[in-house]
Structure 1
Amino acid sequence: MAGSMNKVILIGRLGRDPEMSYTPNGQARCKFSIATDEGYRDRQTGQKVEKTEWHNIVAWRQTAEFCGNYLAKGRLVMVEGKLQTRKWQDQSTGQDRYMTEIVADNVQGLDRSPDGPQAGQQQGGYQQQGGGYQQNNAPQQGRPQGGYQQPQGQPQPPQQEDEDLGPAFPSEASGMDDVPF
């Protein structure tokens, strides 16, 4: 169908550590879930209500390796990918089962890990682009953050100090701590 698009962009926190595995032919696969939340006011009571959604993510090849090595429960990440629904038959009941997940093309760490990079260090990450991946090959110490690498030959923007933009989610600002991490 012309004019259709299957694109997902999410920012959320990992609900558990990533699970790495390999296919029989050695292809890396990493599964994890992230939580996103949003708030709204209940019209009848006037109270603020928080709603959390959980999203299943699967990454392949070098993106999977990056996720397995550098992500952990509680990390804030941006995931870019597409929705995919799998169907299988439950072996014990014979019923059809379905799973909708996001197949990640790009994953970026958005916060500093506990032993994050020191000032002046580069950040690394993976992005699928035209069937391949790009890696920031600058020397790194500690655990790098996820991120893009711009294509070679284009000018790099000057690095700036991190700017505190406030909490990533409304629940962080309100002091609510109902997400289990």
Structure 2
Amino acid sequence: MTAALTVLTMVCLGYIALQDFKERKVYWWLFPLTMLLLGLIHFLNTVEPWVFLSYISLNASFVSLIICTLYIFTRTIAKKKFLDYSLGLGDILFFYAFALGFPTFTFVILFSNAILFALLVFLVFKKKLRLKTVPLAGLMGAFLILVFGYSLIFISPPLYGY
């Protein structure tokens, strides 16, 4: 059951990545679907419901803190618009979808590595991109596809063992 949900999630993440790479626009319904799928996989791999709720509460708080910090920086120091300048709405929705998908320890590691992955890939392919903005949700989605693919092929280390 979880393997089928994981593959379905990978397909959803693939659509997010493709749309974000091509147009920097993603169908809105892909984000709630991704939230549902990631949350369901996480819930099915959690022992107790209260543990699941505590993990997603901590993760959502972490994401909110990051978004608030970026908002304050963008508005006060950079003196620019926040939405669609520093971060797109799709990126924000993807961050929250990501937050539903993993235990807190795993989430922090995967989230920070996904951001680093997105930065490195963007820097390598920057000159070849038609649009010069970072497809952050798409690159993070591609990173998660790699992580899920690896976890389906190789059992260890477990994504939900923490």
Name whichever structure is richer in strand by fraction. Answer: 1
Q: Would you say same fold, with TM above 0.5?
A: no
Which has the larger Rg?
1
Higher RCO structure, 1 or 2 (CA under 8 Å, sep 6+): 2
- Indicate the TM-score class for this superposition, using the shorter chain for normalisation: under 0.3
User: Please, what TM-score do these two structures have when normalized by structure 1?
Assistant: 0.22
User: Please, what TM-score do these two structures have when normalized by structure 2?
Assistant: 0.23
Name whichever structure is richer in helix by fraction. Answer: 2
